[in-house]
Structure 1
């Protein structure tokens, strides 16, 4: 391992945070040695609709979910610190990933960043703003998602610059660019068929979704979130 801190960066709207988000973090921490794991709620995401819940509510729900999980413990070697970064509220909008990474570099100093995304985001990564720079600045940790086949993951990787080559029969691809050590790791141990969109629909219908922590549901009910909404898409 390089003599630098290894930092996981898990961005999303978390609108609201649900068990699928927690399980992705658990799967990443179980197979990757990190010193710090950041949940980074988007302030104003460029590729999605405006979040239903305001930023401060989404952060508060994340705090409740993570406080509960921090008490029971996270998997993986060592004592990784799992925290929330509010950096996107401090940066210009919309919240482009490349700007978030550069902002984190400026605040945290020399580090090796590992960007956590879903396989559904991987297949669209070539459409992201300055995606080539993202690949130069970090490793990718890609969580499996329902409906995205391993073949689709391979096709998406083949489209990316960097000449990524699969390492034997593993789920790790390494850049073939001279001097680059960037990798893409596909984590197929987690596939949770849940989305924030479906959860919001259930909440709007007056139901209590099973994949949301009780403390988060209590917060949602207390503040009257997601009671009424139209058609939308989201994570």
Structure 2
């Protein structure tokens, strides 16, 4: 009975997300989905392809992603026969950073790490969102303390468009139940203890009892563990960061 109840609850959540995506497609075109190919994004990619195919899917290729991320990226592209638009960091900015601070300068301080994230993620995201009316992300409230205040839908002042977080109230069990129910491909690193996956040098496996995002930038305090994609007023923080390094 408990199992059936969980299935019913998940089915209800899936219906709500599907209806939201259809509404977004009908009212916010052009709109796009920022897909990093974590399990949450795999769920959203599946629902978008099934119910709202006019929503653009893009990803930010930082140049330092694990091979396993490229593997699942290819599987999703082949499964749905969908174009996945890739955005890369500006080569000159990457070169300048590496010359000044070294290829792994981001380990030296939070400020330098945020600058690296800005170059490899935030600036490409600005280009990806240019001209769009809305964007969609796979963030969930329970992922970290930095995401507990996020809403299902909110005006994103940083980028000047509406932002939707369709899975905001989903649990980790909800996400994995959907993945298994539909036999969806996922990043092989999840089977090796990686709960949240970003760039290879900034991601590690977690141990039992650790926070879901404990493996991201593990050398930093929990309150700083954002790359800037889902943080308000990040550009202001970035200016402070640049003046501090």
TM-score in terms of structure 1 length: 0.41
